């Protein structure tokens, strides 16, 4: 039982490049989330998916897209990376409006 | 704006000192409250949570928190900290929507 897994762990991009961050959970949770963590700002919700087939914007969705591929997987895509997107990205899942379980994070640097 | 505020951004304590980290939220109505901890280089882990019932909740590693509805507060406490408690602590709130709103975080440094 791995919980929530994320790939990659680290990534460096140049401005304008695109990439997809992958997230998977094996806890049969309905809800999944993407956050970014920046110093002094806590975690801010980018997008979330309350159930398979649905996605909704969070607090800071601009510049990102998401795909809920199936119940297990929820990916985050940066179409054209910007230095302002340098951050640590966390995926999380939950079984209800309840405790969220977090993945290990992806540290992204955009040059 | 509705928010979650953590008053202490950086706290430095000696081992065995008592800890209290403040958290206030500005949402009305029913809320669920959480404290998460992030040890250096690791992901967030749940320390404790409050949904209803006894407003004094106990979590892992000797932590506890008290929900005071009239003050919109959910402060985290520990009677005697250890060096291994060095971490960043986040208060978070949700309103049964599943979406968590986090405070800015408090970095705790415990000196051995």
Percent of chain B with pLDDT over 70: 97
Q: Helix or strand or coil: residue B67?
A: strand
Per-residue pLDDT of A41-70, as tens digits, reads 889 999 999 988 899 999 999 999 999 989
Distance, in Å, from the CA atom of A19 to the CA atom of A39, rounded to the nearest integer, reads 23
Residue in A closest to B7 by C-alpha:
A40
Angle, CA A54 vertex, CA A58 and CA A8 arms, to 5°: 65
Instruction: Supply the DSSP symbol for A77.
Output: E
The residues, any chain, with a CB within 8 Å of residue B5's CB and separated by 6 or more, are B23, B24, B25, B26, B103, B104
Q: How many CB pairs under 8 A join A and B?
A: 52
B53 pLDDT band, cuts 50/70/90, is very high
Token look-up 């415990």 returns: B110
CA distance B30 to chain A (A): 13
Using a CB–CB cutoff of 8 Å, tell me whether B105 touches chain A: yes
Residue in A closest to B104 by C-alpha:
A42
Per-residue pLDDT of A67-89, as tens digits, reads 998 999 999 999 999 999 999 99
Is residue B43 scored above 90 in pLDDT? no
For residue A53, which of A34, A36, A67, A35 has the smallest C-alpha distance?
Answer: A67
A96 pLDDT band, cuts 50/70/90, is low
């Amino acid at each position: 039982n791995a919980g929530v897994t994320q790939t990659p762990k680290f990534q460096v991009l140049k401005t304008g490049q695109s990439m997809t961050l992958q997230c998977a959970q094996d806890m049969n949770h309905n809800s999944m989330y993407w956050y970014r963590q920046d110093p002094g700002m806590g975690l801010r919700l980018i997008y979330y998916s309350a159930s398979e087939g649905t996605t909704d914007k969070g607090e800071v969705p601009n510049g990102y897209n998401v795909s809920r591929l199936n119940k297990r997987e929820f990916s985050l895509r940066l179409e054209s990376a910007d230095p302002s997107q340098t951050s640590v990205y966390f995926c999380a899942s939950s079984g209800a409006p309840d405790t969220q379980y977090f993945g290990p994070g992806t540290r992204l640097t955009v040059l | 704006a509705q928010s979650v505020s953590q008053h202490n951004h950086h706290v430095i304590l000696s081992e065995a000192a008592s800890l209290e980290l403040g958290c206030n939220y500005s949402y009305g109505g029913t809320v669920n409250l959480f404290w998460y901890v992030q040890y250096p280089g690791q992901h967030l882990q749940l320390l404790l949570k409050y949904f209803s019932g006894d407003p004094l909740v106990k979590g892992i590693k000797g932590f506890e928190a008290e929900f005071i509805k009239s003050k919109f507060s959910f402060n985290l406490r520990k009677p005697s900290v250890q060096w291994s408690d060095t971490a960043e602590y986040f208060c978070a709130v949700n309103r049964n929507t599943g979406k968590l709103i986090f405070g800015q975080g408090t970095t705790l440094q415990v000196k051995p």
